[in-house]
Copies of this chain bind each other. A is one copy, B any other.
């Protein structure tokens, strides 16, 4: 079980957009060169980030920019933008209601796993793009 590469890729994209703002036009081809994926993947991801209100993309001319300050964008925002499925865990359908374990497992285990998911969300919400950008700038080892 592994998370898809979408969260890291989307984060990479956002960091590049901010990092190169004013220096160069951050087109899908440019971003694809940094991330090392196909430009269409970048455009799809940018589409999700745009739908989530995190970026504005200049149709026709090209390039993207953040809609708000990096300190006001968290990894939870990014996660929600690119992962449509809110249910992190899921259960076997129709456990046996005649069995005391079967008729309670979903509720008993579900409430506990839900809390774990909430912790993960809280952790993601505590990490801002600004923090990541500072780390990239300050800890850069060329």
User: A8-B105, A16-B99, A141-B104 are known contacts. Are A123 and B132 too (CB-CB below 8 A)?
Assistant: no
A12 touching B105 by the CB < 8 A rule?
yes
Say how far A10's CB is from chain B's closest CB, in angstroms: 11
A34 touching B115 by the CB < 8 A rule?
no
Out of B4, B87, B92, name the residue touching A12 (CB < 8 Å).
B92
Cα distance A83–B1 in the bound complex, in angstroms: 6
A104 touching B135 by the CB < 8 A rule?
yes
The stretch of A49-57, A65-73, A106-114 in contact with B is A106-114
A132 touching B109 by the CB < 8 A rule?
yes
B90 touching A2 by the CB < 8 A rule?
yes
- What 4 pairs between A and B have smallest CB-CB spacing? A34-B99, A108-B135, A116-B123, A104-B136
